[in-house]
Structure 1
Amino acid sequence: MGVFSALTTAVSGLQAQSYALENISGNIANSRTAGFKRVDTTFADLVPDSALNRQISGSVAAYSQSTNSIQGDLSATRIDTNVAINGDGFFVVDQRQSGVGTNTTFANSNLYTRRGDFDFDANGYLVNGAGYFLKGQKIDTVTGQVIGTQPEVLRITQEQYPAKATTSIEYRANIPSTPATKRATDNPTNPNAQFLSAANYTSFAAPNNPLSTTQGGNGVVTGEALPTFLTDSIPGGQVTVYDSLGKATNVELRWSKLNNGGAGPPVTTGTWNLFVGVNTSATGTAVAYQNVNTDITFGTTGQLVAPSGGNITIPPVTIGGTLVSGVVINTGGTGLTQNGDISGLIDARSIRQDGYTAGTLDRVSVSAEGQVIGTFSNGQVKALAQISVARFNADNSLKRLDGGAFEETIESGPPIVGLGTADLIGGNVEQSNTDIADEFSKMIVTQQAYSANTKVITTAQEMLRDVFSIIR
């Protein structure tokens, strides 16, 4: 029976090496397939049940060994929607079931892949090269919060991003302790020439008293008094603000000093009034500048004393036909100072506002945290969606599907949603983890083992022929 057993064992060896060669050929064929995970081959010996001193090596069986947990090289593609996972995890994807365009229906089953060559189709879906649709969760662009708990197929459209009215102007500046107004420079011997005085406006028709209401004025500068006011003030910068429809309006600021403060308490070293340009080319009795009607005072070290908290509210004004209302100048408490400056002019370090006009989606990228980031034509950058990434306790026990996809099995365990210690790299794609040199080495060994098994069969055949010859 030994010769016949040798034949059987050799045949099992041929089958095992053929199985290994099939895996090797598949690995080589997919050496350039994005996200492909090679399949290795392991062998197990099959030992016949016999007495301890009569055991033989037995036949062989071949099994597949997955390498899902072995990462391939990352390759830069310069395509913003391409993304690679650096670390453990799989993208959650779905398949098209029926329909086309916006009427597409999906299988509503979670599949998993490392193939991240996603790009937009004509309907705003992110689809990879194998036809799988990326899943994730939408993000509220206003609150920044993730919507829902379960991943769904992501669809990002070119809808217009709505305008936002300006509500806050961030203002950071140093106001000179001695302003270089034109009146002051024309009268260098008069220390009071630097101050705004209501007496300079008595010759103009009412209303024309630029002092704030707290100083006994009405805070109005008309067109006929404009040249005088420009000699009593210094520019404080300008900023473009937006109304609720996204219409832009330019807001110009000017400052005038009222006095050098008082003994307090608290002790102050200067009181100022801030003006907003309503119509800087106004004539006659048309309003040119409007006082915000808030006294701004500074302490002995140049720090802002009043208003408390450093917020200055702009009264409702109509500039260029656009109503500017509900806007607060935010100085941050310490962002506005009064220190000596040889130039005598305001050093406006930062003037920024929080409004913007409507915009359309210009480009999309992916952050390291897996957020789909949209950049809009109005300069806004917003998170639009969160890509779902799943991890498994037994990655290599997932069932392989066409197109580099996998599905959950009992052996793999349920998915654990979240990046964990991994991160995402936009503009990159993970390549196959197949090593061509290694596969060719395996192929040589497999071929030699296959040839050796054929030699066993040939030898067994010759031995049987000899036996038959003895009988004859």
Structure 2
Amino acid sequence: MGIYGAINSAVSGLFAQSHALENISGNVANSQTTGYKRLDTTFADLVSGGGSRQATQVSGTTYATSRATNTLQGDIAARDVDTYMAINGEGYFVVTSANSVVDGTTNFEDTDYYTRAGDFERDRNGYMVNSSGYFLQGYELNPDTGNPIGDNPEVIKISDQPLAARKTTGITYQANLPPTPETNRAKANPGLANADLLQTAGTVGPVTATSDITNADKDAFVASSISGGSITVYNQNGTSINVELRWAKTADDAWNLYYAADRGTNATDMAYARIGEATFNPDGSLNAMNPGTGVAVNGTTYEIASLQVGDVSAANVNVSFANDSLTQFASNSGAATSVDLAQDGYAAGELVGISVDSSGRINASYSNSQTRSLYEIPLATFEAEYELERVDGAAFAATSLSGAPVLISSNGSIVPESVELSNADIATEFSKLIVTQQAYSANSRIVTSADEMLDSALNMVR
């Protein structure tokens, strides 16, 4: 081999260092690319012939190959975008790219790609797209169960369709009623016998312990009852109904519950509708519940067939006092205490925001204060991820050597409102650049020295 072999070895070194320089250049160029995985360079030697013993062999040439760093985590940086996400640990987002747009409809490629670039934002069509133009895929969730629908991820598209209203079916009610209520009538008539009871005499209309309250008797009723709190409920089409509740004591350990009906302005129109009666044991616990007109009792629940306030009504609304939530314990205030009301309905709502949580679910927020989980984001893993094929946009494609993607059993987790930065560090790349530059210069020096030696050999015959 001799001098010509030395030239060949040096030239191979020049090619190898050029390969390393190209990788360094690409890494530096992508040092700010979200989700980028740098390429390092590995050098290998090619042994020249010359015998079976090293003593008779020469070092030979070299060649360079790229080494993937997919398994090396980039720094995770917080961002103030609700739909950004990073992967902490192993795994890739499953994405695809647009193929064409026909009549305003986006058609997608059949090929899946995989990326760590989680800077996704919702575009005008509702798709989740990152800065490289890849469309995020995930499992659609069943709105009733919250479980994924199907086994294959699909392109995520979030609709602007309003969230439909939900009718109120139940009100959970907690209250403690005082044994002696301090009504306005009682405060105005100190010492009057039974001043704390419902006023049934001396009113314009006939008031009994089992009757509804008309406008003619409204003031007298309010003066001889106490507030039981209020709550807004919703009917079938999401119309809100403000329900104001009042309690009136009718006898020792016996109370009537009413709600403000406001069904007109005439004297005989209903002002308050009676829901029913509750009686208590001497220890203050609930004894029995008796229904009013149009109301049934089921255990500790009043079942109101039609709850009507003004011209608006809601059918089949239950008022529940489950778990000993209605009591008559001693109270110094003379008012209902520990009052807490909740209901299960809501009005229709417009989409106001999209966010991602740490469990990898995309959640939609609506103007009616409701939140819905729409999609679950899977993470893909590979048996040999270093064999993935790099494609444009900090993404990868599966190959026969990488194996098929596995969408379960990932050790990675999603970090909301964050992105994974490039794992290429400029300082490290510059240090490698210095070594590469010196090695390239040394190889070029070998070529120069070999050329001078050839000139000397040629001059021998002159």
Q: Does 1:23 align with 2:5?
A: no
3-state SS in 1 of match to 2:151: coil
Per the TM alignment, residue 132 of structure 1 is displaced from its structure 2 partner at its CA by 0.7
Determine the structure 2 residue equivalent to 1:319: 309
Give 2:238's match in structure 1, choosing from 246, 254, 258: 246
**What do residues 389-415 of structure 1 show as CA deviations (whole Å, max 9, x unaligned)?**
212232222110011110112222221
3-state SS in 1 of match to 2:9: helix
Aligned partner letter, 2:162: Q
**What do residues 260-296 of structure 1 show as CA deviations (whole Å, max 9, x unaligned)?**
3xxxxxxxxx232211110187441111111112x32
Determine the structure 1 residue equivalent to 2:182: 180
Change (3 A) 1:349 1:292: closer
Determine the structure 2 residue equivalent to 1:230: 222
Distance in 1, Cα, partners of 2:103 & 2:322:
50
Change (3 A) 1:165 1:465: same
3-state SS in 2 of match to 1:276: strand
Distance in 1, Cα, partners of 2:268 & 2:458:
130
Per the TM alignment, residue 306 of structure 1 is displaced from its structure 2 partner at its CA by 3.7
3-state SS in 2 of match to 1:79: coil
3-state SS in 2 of match to 1:41: strand
Change (3 A) 1:75 1:133: same
Determine the structure 1 residue equivalent to 2:271: 288
Is the deviation greater in 45-54 or in 30-39? Answer: 45-54
**What do residues 32-53 of structure 1 show as CA deviations (whole Å, max 9, x unaligned)?**
1111110001111212352223
3-state SS in 1 of match to 2:328: strand
Determine the structure 2 residue equivalent to 1:302: 284
Distance in 1, Cα, partners of 2:285 & 2:383:
59
Per the TM alignment, residue 157 of structure 1 is displaced from its structure 2 partner at its CA by 1.9
Residue pair 1:117, 1:129 contacting (<8 A) in 2 also: yes
Is the deviation greater in 273-282 or in 24-33? Answer: 273-282
> How is 1:127-142 mapped onto 2 (pairs within 5 angstroms)?
127-142=129-144
Aligned partner letter, 2:233: V
**What do residues 1-32 of structure 1 show as CA deviations (whole Å, max 9, x unaligned)?**
22222111111111111100000000001111
Q: Any gaps of 5 or more consecutive residues in structure 1?
A: 212-216, 261-269
Change (3 A) 1:444 1:285: same
> How is 1:256-271 mapped onto 2 (pairs within 5 angstroms)?
256-260=248-252, 270-271=253-254
Residue pair 1:95, 1:132 contacting (<8 A) in 2 also: yes
**What do residues 400-449 of structure 1 show as CA deviations (whole Å, max 9, x unaligned)?**
00111101122222212147333222222221111000000000000011
Change (3 A) 1:337 1:397: farther
Give 1:408's match in structure 2, choosing from 398, 406, 409: 398
Distance in 1, Cα, partners of 2:186 & 2:398:
81
Per the TM alignment, residue 100 of structure 1 is displaced from its structure 2 partner at its CA by 4.8
Distance in 2, Cα, partners of 1:228 & 1:467:
128
Residue pair 2:93, 2:136 contacting (<8 A) in 1 also: yes
Determine the structure 2 residue equivalent to 1:328: 318
Residue pair 2:142, 2:149 contacting (<8 A) in 1 also: yes
Per the TM alignment, residue 385 of structure 1 is displaced from its structure 2 partner at its CA by 1.4
Q: Does 1:388 align with 2:378?
A: yes
Q: Does 1:425 align with 2:415?
A: yes
In the alignment of these two chains, the number of paired residues is: 452
Change (3 A) 1:15 1:380: same
Aligned partner letter, 2:272: Y
Change (3 A) 1:356 1:37: same
Residue pair 1:72, 1:430 contacting (<8 A) in 2 also: yes
Change (3 A) 1:59 1:334: farther
3-state SS in 2 of match to 1:325: strand
3-state SS in 2 of match to 1:4: helix
Aligned partner letter, 1:464: L
Distance in 1, Cα, partners of 2:382 & 2:418:
23
Residue pair 1:237, 1:348 contacting (<8 A) in 2 also: no
3-state SS in 1 of match to 2:201: helix
Residue pair 2:174, 2:325 contacting (<8 A) in 1 also: yes
Distance in 2, Cα, partners of 1:222 & 1:250:
19
> How is 1:194-209 mapped onto 2 (pairs within 5 angstroms)?
194-196=196-198, 199-200=200-201, 204-205=204-205, 208-209=207-208
Higher helix share: 1
Residue pair 2:263, 2:310 contacting (<8 A) in 1 also: no
Residue pair 2:263, 2:269 contacting (<8 A) in 1 also: no
Q: Any gaps of 5 or more consecutive residues in structure 2?
A: 290-297
Q: Does 1:373 align with 2:363?
A: yes
Residue pair 2:204, 2:216 contacting (<8 A) in 1 also: yes
Q: Indicate the percent of aligned positions where both proteins have the same amino acid.
A: 43
> How is 1:90-105 mapped onto 2 (pairs within 5 angstroms)?
90-100=92-102, 102-105=104-107
Determine the structure 2 residue equivalent to 1:11: 11
Distance in 2, Cα, partners of 1:386 & 1:30:
30
